[in-house]
Structure 1
């Protein structure tokens, strides 16, 4: 079964049995929530719809975005991401992963963000194998 692996440079720190998820975070300066929906496929992570609650420094609303229910909704056409690389630091706060109708901080699987480990990768993987 394919699922989501969390780790770095091919080293698996956690495996999650999900075929889709939402990655959410709060912009460090503007304090605005961002969300991106992904499907987990054998080719990698496919970005679907994304949402942002507002604009600000370095946060331009993409062309074609639509304002619905207080958020700007948009889609970007990207090839499958394998891996999706994220920065993760104590100063920036943590990402949240949402699946199975529940959102949880990355810290639930990886512990809190650490200054000594500032990067994280997400990729599709066969569950049970690194």
Structure 2
């Protein structure tokens, strides 16, 4: 699938999404990845920044706590969300799996959220989606 990422989208920063052999390029420099936890049915969001080489996780937040989604000790409860800034290196790619038990990943930018199925134009289902920076 690495060859599929050779496609570039316009000028500036972009994120590429690949699933089932299809690649979509979104010309965005920052976005929020949102989903609902499959067991707790609680919202989770992560803010990401696209760099020329990688994706940087800027902030994470969760609307509660529970099985497998406990916020770290440094998280602060603000407006009903536990918020924190993860301390991790930028990632060359992020692999998004889906059990099918809690809806879809949503990618949000400029105040609008779209499911991966909407972005790809067909149901993604439980197919893995790979997300990475794809900049000129």
TM-score range, shorter chain: 0.7 to 0.9
Q: Give unpaired runs (5+ residues) of structure 2.
A: 1-11
2:53 aligned residue: 43
Partner of residue 109, structure 1: 119
TM-score by length of 2: 0.83
Residue in structure 1 matched with residue 131 of structure 2 by the alignment:
122
Alignment of 1:50-129 (within 5 A): 50-110=60-120, 111-115=122-126, 117=127, 119-126=128-135
- Say whether 1:5 aligns with 2:20: no
Task: Kindly indicate whether the alpha-carbon contact (under 8 Å) linking 1:93 and 1:113 is maintained by their aligned counterparts in 2.
Answer: no
Paired with 2:104 and 2:28, the residues of 1 have a C-alpha distance of: 20
Deviation digits for residues 84-127 of structure 1 (CA, Å, limit 9, x no counterpart) = 11102433420010001111111111222334x2x111000036
TM-score normalised to structure 1 length = 0.87
Say what the alpha-carbon RMSD is for the aligned residues: 1.8
Unaligned runs of 5+ in 1: none
| Equivalent position SS for 2:14 | strand
